[in-house]
Amino acid sequence: SLNTMEIEATLSYSMSSHGDEDQDPEKGQPSHSSCTDTDATCLEIITVTVGATVPTGFELTAAEEVKEKIGVDARVSKDRGRIYFPITTDKLFQVHLLRSVDNLFVVVEEYDHYQFKQSKEEALMDFQQLASKLPWTNALEVWKLNGTLKKKKGHRKGGNGSKMKPNIEAHHATEADTEQQELTEAVDASEGQTKAESTPGLEDCEQTSEELASGAKPIKFRVTCNRAGDKHSFSSNEAARDFGGAVQEFFQWKADMTKFDIEVLLNIHNEEVVIGIALTEESLHRRNISHFGPTTLRSTLCYGMLRLCKPQASDIILDPMCGTGAIPLEGAIEFNSSFYIAGDNNDMAVNRTVNNICHIQKRRADKGSAPCLPIDTVRWDLCSLPMRTSSVDIIITDMPFGKRMGSRKKNWDLYPSCLREMARVCRPGTGKAVLLTQDKKCFAKAISRMGGLWRKLHTVWVNVGGLHAGVYLLKRTGAVFGQTPEDVHESRGALNEQANEKEDKELS
């Protein structure tokens, strides 16, 4: 009953076998036995809408990738950080190969202008009545197919396993790597087979239906509510509680907070309501990193930054503050016709980058791919790079925010110095820089002082760990380094300082 349910923003529900699988889909309840020997639903191709969460600010970048790789138009949600696009089930595996998306879900139903009742009681009653009106059938079929594509690993198979929480971050990356490898295998297997005879995972799909029909391994659930907007009379907790209670009554499912197999999503943004079923157990941004640092950047955000600077074949791409190497690693994997140099002044950061590169290379070798990546790692001083002048095509880095790393006070000296050194090594006229920082005031001041060397082309505002940050696309001007007022003045100062040091040594 509802009285025994925990009132939390996230509620969990488990599926039990009370004969629902044999009910008629036309009556509003999904048929869970659609992959039996007498039914060929697993072979049928249906079209559904898939939603994806993406790094805030890079929605259009994600939509471009969907168009390039899947060939369909994606629309950006009113709620920032989400896109939606149609997909046929025969191409479902392709959505897991997208580099710009964090989490994926299949849409059950969406309402652009949901009319919420004024009073809390009436609004919550609407949620209770909504569950029985939703078209669950196709979404559940896609969820089952999604499980076969991922080889039913872990708790997905039969719903009997547990969703383990790894003790160390390396386990997260290993799990994501395994998933990516399995998806690739599914792609390879499906390319050389006919649709009628070799739909991927048909045996698994039939097996799952048999398990559902027998009730031996009931599938477990949870409902997660994400709400944004200040004109709602109810809280996220209350919406999740009442909608979840209605789902429980409709399907006769039980509650389970942690060992769920299906996650039902209730997304509310002002008047927009979207109900979906999650297709990812864990965010896809964990795909590359096994050794995390204090400010490791999400791989999906790295991909967005890389697309912004449009790497070309044979480009030399530099990350002078690489941290764990998230940006150059993503580039070396996805834009592998360029060469990447990752550097940092911190020994631990350099070691983490080397370990992450080795981790990826080992994974590639295990899969039978060429293990080598077009990337090298260096320990250096950011303000005195061991690089020739005008030798780099693109500079892309995550600059210290002055929060977890460095300080705001140090940034006032660091930013102008590093922008000047970046201008020295970057090719005049064609070179570009993509720089991420949350210290917007300091960065704006530093750029204004470097007007003769850098020109700001574009800014993408992003959310990084709850902080409002900017990704700045800069173009290197055609000015020769050493001939603009900014760097001439600095160069003379540096020469005077070196002369003073030489005199001190001679005197001593």
DSSP letter assigned to residue 480: P
Note the helical H segments in 52-119.
Answer: 59-69, 92-95
CA distance 409 to 187: 51
CA distance 327 to 321: 10
Rg (CA), the chain: 26
Q: How high is the pLDDT of residue 71?
A: 95
Instruction: Tell how strand 272-278 and strand 220-228 pair up.
Output: unpaired
Q: Between the CA of residue 296 and those of 326, 334, 353, 354, 458, what are the distances in Å?
A: 7, 19, 11, 14, 24
319, 397 in Cβ contact below 8 A?
yes
- In sequence order, the 6+-apart residues with CB closer than 8 A to the CB of 118 are 233
Q: How high is the pLDDT of residue 497?
A: 52
Residue 65 three-state SS = helix
Closest by alpha carbon to 140, among 252, 46, 77, 255?
A: 46
233: number of Cβ within 10 Å: 14
**pLDDT tens over the chain, length 508 residues:** 333 333 333 334 333 333 343 444 333 344 333 344 434 344 589 999 999 999 999 999 999 999 999 999 999 987 789 999 999 999 999 999 999 999 999 999 999 999 898 899 999 999 999 999 999 999 989 998 998 876 544 443 334 333 333 333 333 333 344 444 444 444 444 433 333 333 333 344 444 444 444 454 677 788 899 998 888 999 998 998 899 888 888 887 777 778 888 899 999 999 999 999 999 888 877 787 787 766 688 999 999 999 999 999 999 999 999 989 999 999 999 999 999 999 999 999 999 999 999 999 998 898 888 888 999 999 999 899 999 999 999 999 999 865 445 556 778 888 999 999 999 999 999 999 999 998 899 999 999 988 789 999 999 999 888 889 999 999 999 998 887 776 655 544 444 455 555 555 555 5
Q: How high is the pLDDT of residue 171?
A: 36
169, 292 in Cβ contact below 8 A?
yes
CA distance 213 to 169: 38
- In sequence order, the 6+-apart residues with CB closer than 8 A to the CB of 494 are none
Q: How high is the pLDDT of residue 425?
A: 97
- In sequence order, the 6+-apart residues with CB closer than 8 A to the CB of 119 are 233
Q: How high is the pLDDT of residue 28?
A: 39
Note the helical H segments in 252-346.
Answer: 299-309, 326-334
356, 286 in Cβ contact below 8 A?
no
Q: How high is the pLDDT of residue 41?
A: 44
- In sequence order, the 6+-apart residues with CB closer than 8 A to the CB of 95 are 50, 52, 70, 87, 101, 104, 279
HSE-CB for 132 with a 13 A CA cutoff:
10
Contacts of 307-311 with C-beta under 8 Å, sequence gap 24+, read 307/61, 307/64, 307/65, 307/100, 308/61, 308/434, 308/458, 308/460, 308/471, 308/473, 309/394, 309/396, 309/432, 309/433, 309/434, 309/473, 311/335, 311/337, 311/338, 311/394
Six-digit token string for 170: 């390396």
CA distance 61 to 303: 9
CA distance 358 to 352: 10
CA distance 225 to 166: 24
Q: How high is the pLDDT of residue 211?
A: 46
Domains of the chain: 44-151+218-284 (3.30.2130.30), 299-494 (3.40.50.150)
pTM score of the predicted model:
0.74
Closest by alpha carbon to 158, among 92, 242, 90, 217?
A: 217
Burial class of residue 214 in the structure, from the number of CB atoms within 10 Å of its CB (0-12 exposed, 13-18 middle, 19+ buried): exposed
Closest by alpha carbon to 382, among 348, 412, 344?
A: 344
Six-digit token string for 443: 């960065």
